[in-house]
């Protein structure tokens, strides 16, 4: 009798712990939306999940490197990370002078980012999950039609060197998540699932099967421009690329 009671207590305790141990993560209530590439009949559904409140920082990644020598600059396999990997480090474990510890970690490849998240018991967010969280501004869960929101994003695209700022320096959105826009681009689990040919003038050709509803992009919508540039960026990268303005954050599913 007592053992049964104990089991129940332990189960409750463990489940409480597993929920409570999402420190640094925000709970995102699932929902549905039409993404840039979707149409009315192609709504995307997102389940409840957790996402890091901040992008992963230089300091956090250094800890990962201490525990995982295989991912240090001198050891990493070229297949998993190209020549730009950790370019802002002066050696395997130390940043160059002038780099901030609490700036978002960049110059990491998709493979490195994925491995980092796995080591935390997490994963990279999917493209749909990332866009779902990204469409929020300070007040609204879906701010995509708001002028101010789009103008903020567009003006970030031309601000030089925004990567060397501390996390939390842009804005906190509706979900309590910081820096979805204004700091760095971010890797997603399936970044290349929506293909853009690079010839963006023919990308709006409605006949392109991989880009459903592409005809809708003929519009002069500011919203489309702001989002389109993220898709264009994702379309230009390969998994082993390391880029100065590209970082990541982790996510976690709810069982």
Per CB under 8 A, residues contacting another protein are 84, 87, 151, 154-155, 157-162, 185, 196-203, 220, 222, 225, 228-229, 232-233, 235-238, 241-245
Token pair recorded at residue 91: 């050696």
HEC-encoded secondary structure of the chain: CHHHHHHHHHHHHHHHHHHHCCCCEEEECCEEECCCCCCCCCCEEECCEEEECCCCEHHHHHHHHHHCHHHCCCCCCCCCCCCCCCCCECCCCCECCCCCCCCECCCCCHHHHHHHHHHCCCECCCHHHHHHHHCCCCCCCCCCCCHHHHHHHHHHHCCCCCCCCCCCCCCECCCCCECCCCCCEECCCCCCCCCCCCCCCCCCCCCCCCCCCHHHHHCCCHHHHHHHHHHHHHHHCCCCCCCCCEECCCEEECC
Cβ closest to another protein, residue 136 vs residue 196: 196
CB 170 → another protein: shortest distance, Å?
15
Place of tokens 């300070």: 138
Cβ closest to another protein, residue 141 vs residue 237: 237
CB 185 → another protein: shortest distance, Å?
8
CB 109 → another protein: shortest distance, Å?
11
CB 248 → another protein: shortest distance, Å?
15
Cβ closest to another protein, residue 175 vs residue 225: 225
Cβ closest to another protein, residue 49 vs residue 241: 241
Cβ closest to another protein, residue 53 vs residue 214: 214
Cβ closest to another protein, residue 104 vs residue 122: 104
CB 189 → another protein: shortest distance, Å?
19
Residue 111's region, left for phi above 0, alpha for psi from -120 to 50, else beta, is alpha
Could you give the CA distance from residue 11 to residue 211 in angstroms, rounded to a whole number? 46
CB 82 → another protein: shortest distance, Å?
8
CB 104 → another protein: shortest distance, Å?
14
Cβ closest to another protein, residue 7 vs residue 236: 236
């Amino acid at each position: 009798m007592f053992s049964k009671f104990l089991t129940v207590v332990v189960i409750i305790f463990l489940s409480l712990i597993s929920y409570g141990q999402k420190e640094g993560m925000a709970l995102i209530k699932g929902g549905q939306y039409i993404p840039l590439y979707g149409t009315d009949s192609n709504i995307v559904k997102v389940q409840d999940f957790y996402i890091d409140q901040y992008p992963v920082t230089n300091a956090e990644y250094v800890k990962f490197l201490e525990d995982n020598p295989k991912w240090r600059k001198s050891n990493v396999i070229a297949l998993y990370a190209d020549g730009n990997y950790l370019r802002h480090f002066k050696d395997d474990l130390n940043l160059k002078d002038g780099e901030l510890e609490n700036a978002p970690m960049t110059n990491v490849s998709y493979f490195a980012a994925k491995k980092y998240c796995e080591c935390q018991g997490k994963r990279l967010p999917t493209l749909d999950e990332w866009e779902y969280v990204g469409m929020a501004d300070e007040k609204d869960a879906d701010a995509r039609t708001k002028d101010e929101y789009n103008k903020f994003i567009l003006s970030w695209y031309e601000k030089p060197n925004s990567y060397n700022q501390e996390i939390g320096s842009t804005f906190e959105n509706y979900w309590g998540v910081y820096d979805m826009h204004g700091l760095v681009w971010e890797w997603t689990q399936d970044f290349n699932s929506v293909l853009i040919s690079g010839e963006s003038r023919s990308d709006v050709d409605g006949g392109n099967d991989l880009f459903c509803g592409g005809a809708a992009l003929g519009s002069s919508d500011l919203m489309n421009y702001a989002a389109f540039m993220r898709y264009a960026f994702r379309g230009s990268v390969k998994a082993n690329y390391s880029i100065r303005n590209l970082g990541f954050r982790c996510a976690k599913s709810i069982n």
